[in-house]
Amino acid sequence: MRKILITPRSLTSAGHPAFDLLNEAGCQVIFSTPGKQPDESELMDLLPGCVGYLAGVETVSAKVLEAAKDLKVISRNGTGIDNIDMDAANRLGIQVCRTEGANARGVAELTVGLIFALVRAIPFSDAQLKNKQWERRKGIELENRTLGLIGCGEIGKRTALLAAGVGMKVIAFRRHPDPAFSPDNFSYVSLEDIFKRSDIISLQCPPLASGKPLIDKEALSKMKPGAYLVNTARASLVDPVAVRDALETGHLSGVAVDVFDQEPPVDYGMLSNSRVIATPHIGGFTTESVDRATTRAVENIINVLNQK
């Protein structure tokens, strides 16, 4: 039977009905360690002999791909493929598929939820009361505030519509703006304008090709004093030391983060700051997003294998 490796943490723990499609197509489904992101060593053990690979956000190195002599297709259950060595995949003739937009609603809703939590200090207030302390932080209202989106693909567009629904003005930077997307109270602007005009900035873009952070000391210095930052995209977009310093000086009022360089993170230092809200990469971790992404990822595998 044709072996298919499944590694996303949401799927190795609970499985999914879409895997029945693989069984019906004459495939044998195998899993990495349940609930754990596989490292290179585990992939080296499991991937050789597989023709298909439904991948999560784990690093997929050239070494791993070169060892997987039978591999025909990698299907991501999301949009990002920056974790995969694409040069090696292309060289080896391994097709890489994405499920664009499948988790867009889930990530957009989390983004807006984090914005509300930040500006009203909801986690802080909850923690204080549970610690039998009565301490309040004055918040701000979102109506007429400016949300700056860095990146405006499917996730950004959905975030923009949700934010506009509560009365926010939305500006967005995208290298190739979509002229067909022009809702009320929305406009495309330069990156400089995002930094200067936004009360809240949300990162919804892929990592920079250079590997350097987009939000560094220089970028932070251009932001409004008291601005908020939300990152539901990639950890490498942010310089953690510069952000920590901006929090300590009060230049940033708060930060929300759903993504980490290593998951679970090794360094929990900044997370101890009460003005930081952290979630364990749950942007696309909803029933609906998981269903859409898994079904499309499985269909991508079957379609590619049927063409080989």
What 3-state DSSP class applies to 195? helix
Task: Give the C-alpha separation, 109 to 158, whole Å.
Answer: 8
The residue annotated as part of the active site, out of 174, 281, 292, 296, is 281
The answer to whether 25 and 301 are in contact (CB under 8 A) is no
Neighbouring-strand partners of residue 288: none
The residue annotated as part of the active site, out of 234, 275, 292, 296, is 234
Is residue 234 among the annotated active site residues? yes
Is residue 296 among the annotated active site residues? no
Is residue 197 among the annotated active site residues? no
Instruction: Kindly state the tokens that stand for 290.
Output: 């998981």
The answer to whether 163 and 170 are in contact (CB under 8 A) is yes
Task: Give the C-alpha separation, 40 to 46, whole Å.
Answer: 10
The residue annotated as part of the active site, out of 42, 109, 263, 299, is 263
What 3-state DSSP class applies to 50? strand
Q: Of 196, 238, 202, 200, nearest to 217 (Cα)?
A: 238
Which residues are known to be catalytic? 234, 263, 281
